[in-house]
Structure 1
Amino acid sequence: MTWTCLRATGPQACVLDISVSPNGKRTAAEGWHDGALRVRLAAPPVDGKANAALVAWLADAIGCPKRDVSLLRGDTARRKQLQIDRPADDVAAWLATLGLPQPE
């Protein structure tokens, strides 16, 4: 299965496009927005709290240490790119477990 939001950047690294919505009731993946995984965050967009919550949630969800997930782009934007120091196949397998319909 091919995911438009995921690109391999090497054998042990990939980039994931995420669209965030801060100030949610809970942190969870909700679906797709413009080719990116849409994630609702239970953190305010103040002083980097939303970015820190996103990195922590993604690392926990994928099952890797937080040091393996870093923000590449979108520090103050809703659209973000995160580098994950894991094979793209591992992240694609995690995306498949979310039970979300494939983006169009």
Structure 2
Amino acid sequence: METAINVPRENLEAVMDRIDRFFIDVKTLNGRIYREYTGKDNDQVLQNLQLLVDKCPEKIGIRVPMIKGYNDRADCEQTKRLLTEMGIEDIEIFKYRTGLSDEV
């Protein structure tokens, strides 16, 4: 399942046992940047990540996009460090390409 997991916990709990792998797009763990980009808080994302770490860490694959005008390499590395501290091992940072520019 590809998801940003910013969904109610009960929705995630309803499908957890049926999903082989969660491919999760984590734009940032910086609350201010997340709110600016998405218009929402990332509390739900953090709670859902912790739920998955507690219940099925082997199913988690994280992708952290570097998005021009949104975050930078330092923010992505900080997000990766925090995810690692949570117990997540499969984390990839990549440059998001808009087609307008490959620069981040």
TM-score of the superposition, structure 1-length normalised? 0.29
Larger RCO, structures 1/2 (Cα 8 Å, 6+ apart) = 1
TM-score by length of 2: 0.29
Question: Which protein shows a greater Rg?
Answer: 2
| More helix by percentage | 2
